[in-house]
């Protein structure tokens, strides 16, 4: 069996590698036509029954993005509940349930269903990361919190929190719609998640609403109608639909329980419900046909179960489950993208797209990531005219790689042009907008070519020249050295020649420092320093000599006059 599994996977890989469709110009034209129809291509992973880590889910999202899917549906509440909000406190009919108590009760429920060794539940921070990762790639996330069936963990949590007999008629996974306390608790819980995902700009919220009490028998819906309780199911679904719409999202649910057996006497479902149509029923399981929903105004997401695979299910005899690997491969190859099970060619369906799904009915089975990704590749290649792949950003990345590491040496204006060009890049464009993406690369390349170096800083040169201009060159016998240094200044250099410019300033300063005064100027005159003039006042010796001569002459004249007067008296 192990050998056969590997052989099947290897064969699939070869089909995808060598038989896949290529995006020729003709294919692009077809893809554009599909894009105009605005059809969704969704991949669904059952991360409710089995724990999936953040990295595992991001890997699925990344492959979905590269393969041209538009959405990834993540079942978070499906038998187990694998995502806890930070605040899980609830108020139900006036009764308060503490956040930690709710988390502990839900953890107990998960462990009761399947104590997954890989993890219990994603945190809010991890879900924030997953949603952001998808948004960066233009991918939508469709969360699923399933009820009133597939609630194993939640039912255990209710009992742990003191709610009596929440199960329906012996089912371990279905809430009793006659138990008002249990129903109110479920609605409050769904509302909690709806408000979170609504705040994250999620488009569609899947309410599940499938396989009522399928663990007890497959006549759950028929029994509900027989007992008259189906009216409460209609009201319950419509209440959940209103909660989702109030949170700003579109409600969706699986088809089998809605208008079961094409009966309307129990009430009318909200027309805004998107119908995820997966089965047209089987013997004793009489579901409404696609045309029935179309006639009542419901949009349909084609969820053909011919594409289903249950992880670990390679041989029907092993689990008694028909959703084997072989059946999934054959279904992907054999059923058209728009082939809705149970529909007729003449049916006028309001189809919003199609969804491929991988389930974890046996959570103990090992998750084979390569097999899941291989099925995604096969679906994408087989239906390549509908799955619009990402544009090729190779040229953009090459242009970005040419951007200089140090932009500080370029002018602010030219750097702004480059930054604007890189900021304009949107990374989630599809192949139908390849010309736009190539335009991003052209704009970046042009901006790189247009980068202009900043001018060199000449402030030291200008300061040195200003110092030289303050000198009287007649006072120096070698002032021509300063003039030569100034005349050697080369203007207009950019920042790459800053060392050269600084050397010009140093040459001028050196010439000034080496000036020699003319003879007769040495005493009492100092060379300019720190920008000062060469004429420094330290006392004038010439003026003092003149005053001395004048004083001596005056004394001599006074003596002469005195002598002459004395002779006259004699």
**Which of 350, 383, 416 is a domain's end point?**
383
Compute the distance between CA of residue 483 and CA of residue 473 in angstroms, rounded to an integer.
10
pLDDT score of 29: 46
Cα radius of gyration (the chain): 44
Kindly state whether residue 547 falls inside one of the protein's structural domains.
no
Kindly state whether residue 544 falls inside one of the protein's structural domains.
no
pLDDT score of 26: 38
Four-CA torsion 91, 96, 101, 105, nearest 10 degrees: -60
Kindly state whether residue 528 falls inside one of the protein's structural domains.
no
CATH number of 51's domain: 3.20.20.80
- Which residue in 256, 253, 266 sits closest to 286, CA to CA? 256
Q: Please say whether the beta carbons of 64 and 43 come within 8 A.
A: yes
340 and 214 in one domain? yes
In which element (H, E) is residue 508 found? helix 498-513
- Which residue in 186, 154, 184 sits closest to 171, CA to CA? 154
Give the count of alpha carbons within 13 A of 380, CB side only. Answer: 24
204 and 334 in one domain? yes
432 and 405 in one domain? yes
Domain total of the chain: 3
pLDDT score of 549: 47
Kindly state whether residue 519 falls inside one of the protein's structural domains.
no
218 and 170 in one domain? yes
Cross-strand bridge partners of residue 24 = none
286 and 186 in one domain? yes
* Range of the structural domain that residue 467 is part of: 458-514
Four-CA torsion 483, 488, 494, 499, nearest 10 degrees: -90
Kindly state whether residue 529 falls inside one of the protein's structural domains.
no
312 and 182 in one domain? yes
CATH number of 415's domain: 1.20.1270.90
372 and 403 in one domain? no
Reduced to 3 states, what is the DSSP secondary structure of residue 117?
Answer: coil
Q: Is the preceding peptide bond at 148 cis, omega within 30 degrees of 0?
A: yes
Four-CA torsion 258, 264, 265, 266, nearest 10 degrees: 20
Compute the distance between CA of residue 301 and CA of residue 340 in angstroms, rounded to an integer.
9
Kindly state whether residue 565 falls inside one of the protein's structural domains.
no
Compute the distance between CA of residue 293 and CA of residue 258 in angstroms, rounded to an integer.
9
Q: Please say whether the beta carbons of 116 and 88 come within 8 A.
A: no
Residues in the chain with pLDDT values less than 50: 2, 15, 17-30, 531-544, 546-547, 549, 563, 566, 568, 570
277 and 204 in one domain? yes
**Which of 383, 410, 438 is a domain's end point?**
383
pLDDT score of 17: 46
How are beta strands 95-97 and 250-254 bridged, if at all? unpaired
| CB within 8 Å of 318: residues ≥ 6 apart | none
Kindly state whether residue 442 falls inside one of the protein's structural domains.
yes
Treating both helix axes as pointing N-terminal to C-terminal, what angle do 325-334 and 369-382 enclose, rounded to 10 degrees?
20
CA 381 → CA 140, 341, 394, distances in Å? 21, 21, 21
pLDDT score of 535: 40
Token digits for 521?
Answer: 């100027």
286 and 214 in one domain? yes
Taking residue 479's Cβ as centre, other Cβ atoms within 10 Å add up to 19
378 and 492 in one domain? no
Token pair 């790689």 in the structure block, residue? 401
pLDDT score of 6: 52
Reduced to 3 states, what is the DSSP secondary structure of residue 430?
Answer: strand
Compute the distance between CA of residue 1 and CA of residue 365 in angstroms, rounded to an integer.
15
pLDDT score of 563: 47
**Which of 360, 383, 406 is a domain's end point?**
383
280 and 173 in one domain? yes
Q: What is the DSSP string of 61-97?
A: HHHHHHTT-SEEEEEEEESEE-B--S---EEETTEEE
442 and 378 in one domain? no
Kindly state whether residue 140 falls inside one of the protein's structural domains.
yes
């Amino acid at each position: 069996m192990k050998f056969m599994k590997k052989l099947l996977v290897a064969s699939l890989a070869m089909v995808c590698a060598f038989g896949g469709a290529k995006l020729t110009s003709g294919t692009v034209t077809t893809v554009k036509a599909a894009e105009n129809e605005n059809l969704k291509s969704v991949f669904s992973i059952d991360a409710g029954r089995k724990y999936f880590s953040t990295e595992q889910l991001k890997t699925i999202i990344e492959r979905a993005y590269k393969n041209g899917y538009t959405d990834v549906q993540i079942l978070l509440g499906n038998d187990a509940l694998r995502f806890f909000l930070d605040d899980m406190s609830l108020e139900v009919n006036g009764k308060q349930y503490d956040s930690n108590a709710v988390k502990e009760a839900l953890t107990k429920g998960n462990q009761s269903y399947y104590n997954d060794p890989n993890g219990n539940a994603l945190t809010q921070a991890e879900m924030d990361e997953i949603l952001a990762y998808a948004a960066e790639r233009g991918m939508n996330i469709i969360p699923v919190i399933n009820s009133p069936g597939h609630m194993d963990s939640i039912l255990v949590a209710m009992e742990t929190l003191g709610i009596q007999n929440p199960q329906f008629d012996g089912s371990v996974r279905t809430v009793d719609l006659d138990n008002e306390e249990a129903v109110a608790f479920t609605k409050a819980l769904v509302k909690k998640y709806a408000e979170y995902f609504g705040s994250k700009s999620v488009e569609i919220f899947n309410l599940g609403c499938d396989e009522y009490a399928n663990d007890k028998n497959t006549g759950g819906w028929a029994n509900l109608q027989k007992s008259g309780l189906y009216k409460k199911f209609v009201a319950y679904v419509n209440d959940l639909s209103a909660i989702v719409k109030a949170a700003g999202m579109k409600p969706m649910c699986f088809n089998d329980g809605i208008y079961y057996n094409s009966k309307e006497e129990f009430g009318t479902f909200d027309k805004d419900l998107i119908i995820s149509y997966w089965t047209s029923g089987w013997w004793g399981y009489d579901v409404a046909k696609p045309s029935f929903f179309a006639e009542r105004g419901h949009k349909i997401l084609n969820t053909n179960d011919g594409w289903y695979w249950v992880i670990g299910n390679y041989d029907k005899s092993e689990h008694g489950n028909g959703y084997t690997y072989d059946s999934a491969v054959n279904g992907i190859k054999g059923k058209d993208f728009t082939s809705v099970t149970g529909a007729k060619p003449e049916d006028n369906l309001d189809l919003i797209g199609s969804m491929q799904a991988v389930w974890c009915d046996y959570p103990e089975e090992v998750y084979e990531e390569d097999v899941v990704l291989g099925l995604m590749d096969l679906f994408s290649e087989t239906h390549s005219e509908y799955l619009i792949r990402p544009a090729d950003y190779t040229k953009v990345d090459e242009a970005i790689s040419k951007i200089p590491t140090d932009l500080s040496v370029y002018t602010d204006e030219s750097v702004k042009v480059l930054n604007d060009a890189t900021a304009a890049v949107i990374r989630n464009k599809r192949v139908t907008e390849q010309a736009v993406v190539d335009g991003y690369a052209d704009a970046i390349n042009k901006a790189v070519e247009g980068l202009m170096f900043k001018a060199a800083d000449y402030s030291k040169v200008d300061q040195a020249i200003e110092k030289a201009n303050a000198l009287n060159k007649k006072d120096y016998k070698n002032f021509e050295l300063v003039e030569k240094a100034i005349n050697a200044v080369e203007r207009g250099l950019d920042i790459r020649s800053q060392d050269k410019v600084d050397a010009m300033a140093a040459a001028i300063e050196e010439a000034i420092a080496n000036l020699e005064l003319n003879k007769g100027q040495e005493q009492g005159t100092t060379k300019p320093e720190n920008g000062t003039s060469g004429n420094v006042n330290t006392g004038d010796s010439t003026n003092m000599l003149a005053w001395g001569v004048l004083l001596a002459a005056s004394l001599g004249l006074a003596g002469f006059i005195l002598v002459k007067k004395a002779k006259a008296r004699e």
